[in-house]
Amino acid sequence: MSFFVKPNREQLRFQSLDLESLIPENHPVKFFWKVCEELDLTNLYADYKITEDSEGRPANDPRVLLCLWIYAYSQGIQSSRQLAQACKTRADFMWLCGDITPEYRTLAYFRINHTKAMEDAFCKMVMTLKKLGLIKEKVFFQDGTKLMANASAKSFSNRNQLNQERNRLERALEKVQIAYHHFTSYPEEGIDVINQPQIKLAKKLKNRLREVRKAIKQVNRIYERRQRLSKRDRDQYPPKNAQASLTDSDSQFMLNDGRIKPSYNGQICLDGESEFIVAKEVSNQPTDVNRLLPMVDEVKNNLKVKELVGAYVTDSGYYKDENIWWAKEAGVKKLILPIKIEPKCPETIEVKRNAESEEGKGLLKKRNATIERIIGYIKERLRVRRFSLRGLVKVGCEWTFICLAYNLIRYMQLVKVKT
C-alpha cells in the first residue's frame, strides 16, 4: 500500500476554464486593459482597410494587440515568439487575449506596421494624463541613454569593402538573371528544374544588394559629416574610417557601458513632478548636443502648447550656443543647463546664471537623481538593454512601446498611492 498519491498523466480530463477567476481584481494586466480600453485609437483603426464587403477572416482587434505589446514590455518580453507563447501558457496573457490566440507573425507585423498610429497613441496617453491633472508642466528633465542595436560589431564595413561587396553582388545577380532568361526562352531545356531555385537565389541577392546600397548611403553621409568637422575632430574621427553595418545600417558605434558598441541614442523628457515621460525620441547620433531642439518640439506637440513655461533642465552634454538661441525661439522660457566655460553672448550668460542659482542647483541635482533612476528602471526592471528591431524607424516604434509601458506602470503606482 502506497502512502503517496502519484500523478496519473494518462487520465483524460474535461475541464472548464473561467479566465476571470485566474486573475485577481487588482492584477496589473486588468489595469493595463482598462487604460487601453478608454484610449482613443481612431488612427490605429484607420490603418485597417476593412469594410462590410471585405473577404476573409476578421482581423484581430488592434486594441488587444496594442495592449498585449505594452503589457509584454512591462513584463520584460520583447520577442514576438515569446509573446505568442505567453498568450498560450501564462494566465495573465490568456486573460488579456480572451479567446484570441494571435500567432507570432501577427504580433510582429503589428509592431512594425503602425508607426504613426503608435506615435498618436503615445500623444493621446500624454494628453489623457494631462487632463487628469497628473502632468504639472512646472519642470522638465531631459536625458539620453545608449541602448545596443540588434547588430554585431563584425557587421560593420568601410567604403571600399562595401563597394567591393556591391560589385560582387551585382555580378552574381546578373549571372542569375541571364541564366533565368535563357531557360525561360528555351523551356524545353528544363525550366521546371531551374525555375524555383533561381528565383529564390535572385530574391536573396536582391535583398542583400538592397542592404549593401543602404549601408553605402549611410557611410557616405558619415564621411561627408566628418569632412565638415574641425581639423582636431577630423584627426580624432578620420573620414576614411567611416563604417556602416550590413545588418542594421542606421546603427552607429557609441560609448555604451564603458565600451564602444553598435547602439542607438534613446532620448526621454520627464515631467519633473509626476515623473511621466512626456516626449521620447531615438537617434543614431552618438552625442546629445543636437537632440535638444527636436525634443523641445516633441514636448510642445505632445502637450499641445506653444511654449514651455516650466523650467527645462538638461546636462552639459546638450550645450552649444546655437541650442540656447534656438530653445528661446522655440518657446523655452527658462533653460537650466550647466556651462563650464565663460560665455559671451547675453542668452548664454543668462542660462549659466540660472544653472548656478540655488534653484538651478537644486533642480540639476533632482534631475540627476530622477531621470537616472528611471533609465535604470527601464534597463533593469523592464530588461531593455538591446533593441529587438532594426532600422531607425522600427527602433523608434519599439522605444514608443517601452515608454508607453513605463508610463502605465507609473500611472498604476500613483493610483495605488491615492487609493
Q: Are 251 and 392 in contact (CB under 8 A)?
A: no
**CB half-sphere exposure, 178, CA atoms < 13 A:** 6
Nearest-angstrom CA–CA distance, 26 and 18: 17
Say which residue the cell 527658462 belongs to.
334
Task: Look at residue 176 in the predicted model and tell me its pLDDT.
Answer: 78
DSSP code of residue 79 = -
Alpha helices for 147-251 (secondary structure H)? 159-185, 191-227, 231-236
Task: Look at residue 76 in the predicted model and tell me its pLDDT.
Answer: 94
Residue 251, SS3 per DSSP = coil
Residue 169, C-alpha cell as written in the block: 553582388
Residue 303, C-alpha cell as written in the block: 502637450
In this prediction, residues 233-248 reach a mean pLDDT of 85
Q: Are 248 and 390 in contact (CB under 8 A)?
A: yes
Model pLDDT for residues 112-151, shown as the tens digit of each residue: 999 999 999 999 999 999 999 999 999 999 999 999 999 9
pLDDT over threshold 50, residue 192: no
DSSP code of residue 48 = S
Neighbours of 233 (CB within 10 A): 10
Neighbours of 42 (CB within 10 A): 9
Task: Look at residue 205 in the predicted model and tell me its pLDDT.
Answer: 83
Task: Look at residue 188 in the predicted model and tell me its pLDDT.
Answer: 46
- 111-115 contacts, C-beta under 8 A, 24 or more apart: 111/69, 111/80, 111/389, 111/397, 111/398, 111/401, 112/389, 112/394, 112/397, 113/47, 114/44, 114/47, 114/62, 114/397, 115/393, 115/394, 115/396, 115/397
Nearest-angstrom CA–CA distance, 400 and 408: 12
Strands 252-256 and 332-336, bridge-based pairing:
unpaired
In this prediction, residues 362-367 reach a mean pLDDT of 95
Nearest-angstrom CA–CA distance, 89 and 78: 17
Nearest-angstrom CA–CA distance, 171 and 325: 52
In this prediction, residues 372-381 reach a mean pLDDT of 95
Strands 156-158 and 243-245, bridge-based pairing:
antiparallel
In this prediction, residues 316-335 reach a mean pLDDT of 92
Model pLDDT for residues 338-363, shown as the tens digit of each residue: 998 888 888 899 999 999 999 999 99
Nearest-angstrom CA–CA distance, 169 and 255: 33
Lowest-pLDDT range of 8-17, 155-164, 406-415: 8-17
Nearest-angstrom CA–CA distance, 158 and 230: 22
